Amino acid sequence: ALANKLARIAWAIAVKHTRYEAEPNGLTA
């Protein structure tokens, strides 16, 4: 179960990363 939690967290971070790259304005907001 712990590995699943870490995987979800890592996936969420990756999604945020791609979202910031797609919207540079998100970093300054």
Give me the pLDDT at residue 15, please: 82
Spans of all domains in the chain: 1-29
3 versus 18: the higher-pLDDT residue is 3
Residue 23's alpha-carbon distances to 10, 11, 17, in angstroms, are 20, 18, 10
Is the separation of the CB atoms in 27 and 20 below 8 Å? yes
Question: Would you say residue 29 has pLDDT above 50?
Answer: no
Could you give the 3-state DSSP secondary structure of residue 23? coil
Stretch 4-9: mean pLDDT, rounded? Answer: 93
Q: What is the pLDDT of residue 20?
A: 62
User: What's the whole-model pTM score?
Assistant: 0.48
- Evaluate whether 12 touches 4 at the Cβ level (below 8 Å): no
Average pLDDT of the residues in 7-29? 72
